[in-house]
Amino acid sequence: MESMVFSSLIFLFAYLPAVLLLYYITPRKGKNLILFVVSLFFYAWGEPIYVLLMLLSITLAYLFGLLIGEYRKENPRRAKLFTVLSVCISLSFLLFFKYYNFFALNLSRVPMVNIPTIAGLALPIGISFYTFQIISYTVDVFRKDCAVQKNYINFGAYVTLFPQLIAGPIVRYTEIDEQLTHRRESAREFATGVFRFVVGLSKKVLIGDALAAGFVYFQDSLSVSPSVAGAWLTVILYSLHLYYDFSGYSDMAIGLGHMLGFSFPENFNYPYVAKSITEFWRRWHISLSSWFREYVYIPLGGNRVGTFKRYRNLAIVWLLTGFWHGADWNFVLWGVYFAVIIITERAFLLHLLEKLPRAVGHLYSLFLIGVGFLIFSHHDLRVAFSTFLALFGVGTDGFISSTGLYTLIRQAPLILISAIGATPLPKQLWERAQAKHPRLQAVAVALCILLFGVCVAYLVDSTFSPFEYTQF
């Protein structure tokens, strides 16, 4: 059975209305229980057996949290032991399901080593995200950054909360602790959530999926009639597709949070306007970058150590960031790729970029981001390398084929719209218009209804299209 996703008719017209009805008719004391139960149901829709794994992870983290809270004052060493055990157990589940076959397959290439793989070992959906959330709670309790959550239902609701369960944003416990017990829903918050959700749905269905279709076409064409333009368009279309797909999911998650009275952290801040790769990663998947900075980079010493160790810390963080995305060599290379760039920027390149015109830094960033996503999107590194060479005319049949030109002309309006939409310009123009004409609020409501209707029409006529980051 396919997992339930936000951009599915079953979610929009059955699950979500039922959840909202149950949530709002339930007294306040029972709302977290409702969220816990419906979130488990949401998860179990596609993978019922792995609900047991999730419940085990929640229960162990909850119990360890109680033990850490009990001993962190009187016996810090014992509290630290429980913290290490909790983190190791949580990571062991992630490592086994996500990486066992990868390590078994690669280690078995070593002479005299034969580690059997496990056929049918599926990756539990969302395990990379909820494992990091559990770890953030455990570490924050040990650090005394938050109080121990003694209510099992509240803790379970935090871990399983369905809006951000599958693909983030990664919500640290300290960001939501107060909201678990003291949030207040309102009509204004609900309306804000609906609008944000519809914007995200539109980004995914109307733009992201259309960009994906163009990417698949030009990617396939490279194997038949490789061209320079085809290679560039695979890079451009995939980069835009991934942004609209993933940021669309984050918008929908944040919107659903508002509907339920929660305020989740932002996950994107117009990353393609960055003028350096360092800035790009402050704007892209913000919750993941923040998590690694808080729980890996700073504990390793962060910027408080010497130059060599600082660069070593960056290398470790980016190797782990790449590997977090998937058990394949292209993700490892992707992490190493960005590690090298960011270390180079920290060493001297940022100072140089600051002296150059902003357009130079912007073009530099877009090119390196595109190459990074070229690695990211190809499990076969040979294909990725041949596509990279094709960007500069190596191994191509020409600049563009006649069918490629026809497809480009058809795709051009979509590419232009999506490129502009990836900048702050549309939002700025809308805010200025609203400031001058307050009655535009009614137009926003009408536009929201129209966009939702168009999205539904597309969903009725389309095949299942999961979000990219649900596979991580």
Distance between CA atoms of 149 and 63, rounded to whole angstroms? 10
Eight-class DSSP state of 74: T
Determine the Cα–Cα distance for residues 371 and 375; give it in Å rounded to an integer: 7
- Distance, in Å, from the CA atom of 78 to the CA atom of 252, rounded to the nearest integer, reads 41
Place of tokens 């320079």: 228
Residue-wise DSSP of 60-127: HHHHHHHHHHHHTTT-HHHHHHHHHHHHHHHHHHHHHHHHHHHHHHHHTTSTT------TT-PPPTTH
Active-site residue flag, 258: no
The residue with tokens 């997992």 is 3
Report the distance separating Cα 434 and Cα 7, nearest Å: 29
**Angle of CA points 84, 88, 89, to nearest 5°:** 120
* Cα distance between residue 247 and residue 168, in whole Å: 10
Q: Hey, what long-range contacts does 410-415 have (CB within 8 A, 24 or more apart)?
A: 411/214, 411/233, 411/237, 414/207, 414/210, 414/211, 414/214, 415/211, 415/214, 415/236, 415/237, 415/240
Nearest to 37 by CA among 193, 185, 162: 162
Separation between Cα atoms, residue 369 and residue 361, nearest integer Å: 12
Catalytic residue among 325, 351, 378, 437: 325
Give the type of residue at 243: Y
Distance (Å, whole) CA 114 – CA 110 = 8
- Angle (deg, nearest 10), helices 152-160 and 173-182: 120
Residues that are catalytic = 325
